[in-house]
Structure 1
Amino acid sequence: MTHDTAEQLASYRKTIDNLDSALLHILAERFRCTELVGHLKAEQALPAIDNERERRQLDRLMSIASDVGLSGHFVEGLVTMIVGAVVERHREIAAKK
């Protein structure tokens, strides 16, 4: 590996590391917000799942994924994982009320 290649690789990796950190901070903020939603739903005896909202959200995110060149399969899996964690947490909150 040449010196230039090593420098370029290190630069790319630093950018990736920064983006990974940003993703985690964004996810943490998202989960803080969904925590508030979970408490509100529990207080109002609303179900943990809103299928219509989830469908609209997935459709919206799939459209964005297409626009930015991300795999729809990847985005659907990611959204399913995130929503699954949120719903599980909402159920935990409701069980404590």
Structure 2
Amino acid sequence: MTELGTGQAAHAAQADGEVLAELRTLRASIDNLDAALVHLLAERFKCTQKVGELKAAHSLPPADPDREAEQIRRLRRLAEESQLEPQFAEKFLNFIVEEVVRHHKLIAAATKGAKADTAG
């Protein structure tokens, strides 16, 4: 291997500095997007909490397979339009739906328990 000349070394150091600056900028954007995702998910779960309470109050099932299938089709279409891998979007939604249904089951169980307590 040959050693870099002074000019080449300075150019390499400048390029490294530019790359690191670009990495910092991109990572800051990623951090902001991650924060936005967390806030959006929190808002989504506030809505699904209310859905779970409504379902439990009216003895509706915690899961709605027809709606879930439609949501997956819709999200896959949106993903394709946004140049996001549709399989990733589907996995992401399935994960969220699984968590929502779990919460709805907990709400339903708590509602049944509360009704049993007041009936007795």
- Report the TM-score, using the length of structure 1 for normalisation: 0.97
Residue 50 of structure 1 aligns with an amino acid whose one-letter code is D
Q: 2:62 aligns with which of 32, 48, 56?
A: 48
1:57 aligns with 2:81: no
Separation in structure 1 between the aligned mates of residue 88 and residue 70 of structure 2, nearest angstrom: 17
1:17-32 pair list within 5 angstroms? 17-32=31-46
Please give the root-mean-square deviation of Cα atoms over the aligned residues, in Å.
Answer: 0.9
Residue 39 of structure 1 aligns with an amino acid whose one-letter code is E
- Larger mean Cα displacement after TM superposition, 37-46 or 3-12: 3-12
Residue 6 of structure 1 deviates from its aligned partner by 1.1
Q: Deviations over 1:26-74 (max 9, x none)?
A: 0000001100000000000000011111111111111000100111111
Structure 2 spans left out of the alignment, 5+ residues? 1-12, 112-120
Match of 2:90 in 1: 76
1:70 is paired with a residue of what secondary structure?
Answer: coil
Size of the alignment, in residue pairs?
97
1:7 is paired with a residue of what secondary structure?
Answer: helix
Match of 1:12 in 2: 26
- Report the TM-score, using the length of structure 2 for normalisation: 0.79
Separation in structure 1 between the aligned mates of residue 18 and residue 65 of structure 2, nearest angstrom: 51
Greater length-normalized contact order (CA 8 Å, ≥ 6 residues apart): 1
